Structure 1
Amino acid sequence: MTLLDYEDDNGLAAEYVLGLLTPDEVREVEERLGIDPEFRALVARWTEDLVSLTDDIPSIAPPRPLEGMVMRRLFPEAEPARRGWGWWPWLLGGVAAAALAVVALNPQLLSRSGQPDYAARIAAEDGSLVVEASFDRDSGRLELRRLSGAAPEGRDLELWLVELPEGTTISLGVLRRDEATTVVEVGPDLAPVFESNALAISEEPLGGSPTGQATGQVLALGPITDL
């Protein structure tokens, strides 16, 4: 697949915003964004439209006892004062609804071969860290593209698969520090776990958590959307 295979710029801009392009396609699009103001405006409109789909979704805070119980089950080793996950119910509901709405409005986005089975936008509440993920179940290829943010000095960003509602977590490895794109090979035993669950990112000691559970601050969370 090359950018010449796209029938129109609208579909190309939409797939770029949704994080459905390959790394090579992303590089081509970003080169074009630097020289084509009309295409840049089209990408900006798609970004605004996607965000606006969550405007009517109310933010619902969970009862404090329930929130604390869920957090302890998700990351039992994390320091309570550093978790900062009071926003996660809004994120899971709002972002999932936005992604599903965009796909429903634009079914042609899913027509090309090689389409991943699942996608997720793993984001901090303030946008300081945004990572887009796409997963192909047959090949076991999980591709992560960091759009903003970086690991704190002397720390690594670790990716977690969060099973809901049980709250168990599985480490999927550490994101590359020197490149925006990280590719993870997921075993066939884990592939079914991606359905209806979530991905999270925490900051950990260099090389990743030594305990198999998050020990540092949870920076971002995103629901996994079935495409």
Structure 2
Amino acid sequence: MILLRNLAFYLVFYPGSFLISMAAAAASYLRPSLVRPLCDKWSDLHHWSCTRLLGLTIRETGSRPEGPALYAIKHESFYEAIAMAHMFENPAGVAKQELFDLPFWGRAGIAYGLIPVAREQGAVALRQLMRAGKQAVAQGRPIVIFPEGTRVPHGDHRELRPGFAGLYKLFKLPVVPVAVDSGPIYRNLLKPKGTITWHFGEPIEPGLPRDEVERRVHEGINALNAPALEKAATD
């Protein structure tokens, strides 16, 4: 059954992704207002493919705060990046500037409302970042970021990238650490049936010292890793 489920997933999701991506690229030139709903449909297709074809259960624990917030998310696989638009209402994802320099993708990312970060461009990039962030907050959109900066295998506890503390200070928003345990399932070529959990931790108020907020975010995003690490230590 695992082979049949995965075959169905790959035959449905990836061709569908190609068609939606081409449509979003064309819309970024012809009608930018269509980019966001097309990207949302792509994320919805992914959720449907995961739950109906792979047989995954997607579980959410904890609670989300009302109002604008900066969501710091654990990044174990491509799953959470693709699922972002399904999990959040019009999220404003923070992404490195290099991605916006890619043909087609860059225009679509800007049209969707992603926030570029170009650390090497100094004050100019900082003003652009602040302007995009304030616009997203004014629109009531959640701001999402992967504070480790890259995908991390399940059970690994990486240090947060230095840029996270700067964004926390600039946006002056409460931070919600989000633990996701997608790695053991989604990083496999053959994805087994199972459960992926999103755990929303307690909001962290703005204005804390860097060491304090980084410590609390680091603990929060790794909340679902602790049982695995404890089990490994006793084996």
Fold similarity call, TM over 0.5: no
TM-score, normalised on structure 1?
Answer: 0.30
Structure having the larger proportion of residues in helix: 2
Structure having the larger proportion of residues in strand: 1
TM-score, normalised on structure 2?
Answer: 0.29
